[in-house]
């Protein structure tokens, strides 16, 4: 594994990479509130089959976190940076692993460059309204009526209890290491203006839902090989979101694992084995 920063559109972007010789690229797109460190155990398990690379988005992890005055914290903008990162390191074709926020980012890139996508692993990476858990109905009301008070209330998403719950809900007691959520909380406490930047993304998430029909049309048109492997107890992106892929890709493989949202934390080897078997 190597760790480095690459200049992308004038920003210092951190990435981690398993430099497997003569292997196809697998680009891994992380979720909230994490960073590429969520793939720390998965990437070594896949390096015999893939050239794995994962970046931290601007405002996450070890990447530069520009001011909101000069950088728009929207999913369109994060996808533009990720696309430019892929161009900067000259990746022509790749498999992609999408999780949580990584799904609307990765699928935007797939819409723009369908010829580049060799296949997709969606691990709790939702692109269907059926996959939106109950909390999203409440957020939809916020999107319709974005008062300052509601924006402030959603900052509970950055609290320790919420992040801890994202990692541990739906998992067996003692099966999740504290390393992941502890590092996420460290970044949340050290990145300048973190809560406001992340609040911008929570509000912008409505534009991901609006793009779901386009993402689904991409699947029907280009028929990428797809593995949806899902922490089946995830309350944010529920199991129905995994099953929904079958509507547009009848040949997709849909696999549940005994976990919640951050399924890599306790089912990493099982996920790796399924990826290598399917692809």
| Predicted confidence (pLDDT) per residue in 147-201, tens digit | 999 999 999 999 999 999 999 999 999 999 999 999 999 999 999 999 999 999 9
The reported pTM is 0.97
- Say yes or no to pLDDT of 216 above 90: yes
222-238 mean pLDDT: 98
Q: How far apart are CA 128 and CA 130, in angstroms?
A: 5
| Predicted confidence (pLDDT) per residue in 72-129, tens digit | 999 999 999 999 999 999 999 999 999 999 999 999 999 999 999 999 999 999 999 9
Q: What is the pLDDT of residue 209?
A: 98
Sign of CA dihedral 238, 111, 14, 190: negative
Q: How far apart are CA 17 and CA 19, in angstroms?
A: 6
DSSP 132: B
225-235 mean pLDDT: 98
Q: What is the pLDDT of residue 17?
A: 97
Instruction: Show the tokens assigned to 179.
Output: 């390393």
pLDDT band of residue 256 (cuts 50, 70, 90) is: very high
- Say yes or no to pLDDT of 21 above 90: no
pLDDT band of residue 19 (cuts 50, 70, 90) is: confident
CATH number at residue 218: 3.40.50.1820
- Say yes or no to pLDDT of 132 above 90: yes
Contacts of 224 (CB under 8 A, 6+ apart): 110, 117, 118, 119, 120, 249
Maximum pairwise Cα distance, the chain: 53
pLDDT band of residue 8 (cuts 50, 70, 90) is: very high
Annotated catalytic residue within 30, 37, 51, 261: 261
Q: Which domain holds residue 107?
A: 2-278
Contacts of 148 (CB under 8 A, 6+ apart): none
Name the average pLDDT for the chain.
Answer: 97
Residue with tokens 């990765």: 106
261 tagged catalytic: yes
86: helix, strand or coil: helix
User: Is the CB of residue 202 less than 8 Å from the CB of residue 135?
Assistant: no
Residue with tokens 């980012």: 105
Sign of CA dihedral 39, 206, 72, 214: positive
Provide the domain count of the chain: 1
Helical pair 135-144 and 194-222, crossing angle rounded to 10 deg: 110
């Amino acid at each position: 594994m190597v760790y480095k920063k690459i200049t992308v559109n004038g920003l210092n972007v951190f990435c981690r990479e398993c430099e497997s010789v003569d292997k196809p690229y697998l680009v891994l797109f992380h979720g909230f509130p994490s960073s590429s460190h969520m793939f720390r155990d998965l990437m070594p398990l896949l390096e015999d089959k893939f050239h794995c690379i994962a970046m931290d988005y601007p405002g996450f992890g070890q990447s530069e976190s520009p001011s909101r005055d000069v950088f728009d914290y929207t999913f369109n903008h994060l996808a533009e940076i990720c696309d430019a990162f892929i161009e900067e390191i000259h990746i022509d074709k790749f498999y992609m692993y999408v999780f949580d926020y990584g799904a609307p980012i990765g699928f935007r890139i797939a819409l723009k460059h369908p010829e580049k996508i060799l296949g997709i692993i969606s691990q709790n990476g939702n692109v269907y309204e059926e996959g939106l858990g109950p909390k999203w109905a409440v957020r939809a009301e916020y999107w319709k009526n974005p008062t300052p008070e509601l924006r402030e209330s959603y900052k509970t998403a950055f609290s320790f209890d919420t992040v801890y719950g994202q990692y541990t809900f739906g998992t067996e007691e003692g099966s999740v290491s504290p390393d992941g959520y502890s590092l996420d909380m460290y970044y949340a406490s050290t990145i300048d203006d973190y809560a406001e930047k992340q609040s911008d993304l929570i509000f912008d998430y409505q534009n991901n839902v609006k793009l779901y029909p386009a993402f689904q049309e991409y699947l029907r048109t280009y028929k990428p090989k797809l593995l949806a492997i899902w922490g089946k107890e995830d309350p944010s992106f529920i199991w129905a979101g995994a099953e929904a892929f079958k509507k547009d890709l009848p040949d997709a493989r849909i696999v549940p694992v005994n976990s919640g949202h951050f399924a890599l934390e306790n089912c990493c080897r099982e996920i790796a084995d399924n990826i290598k078997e399917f692809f």
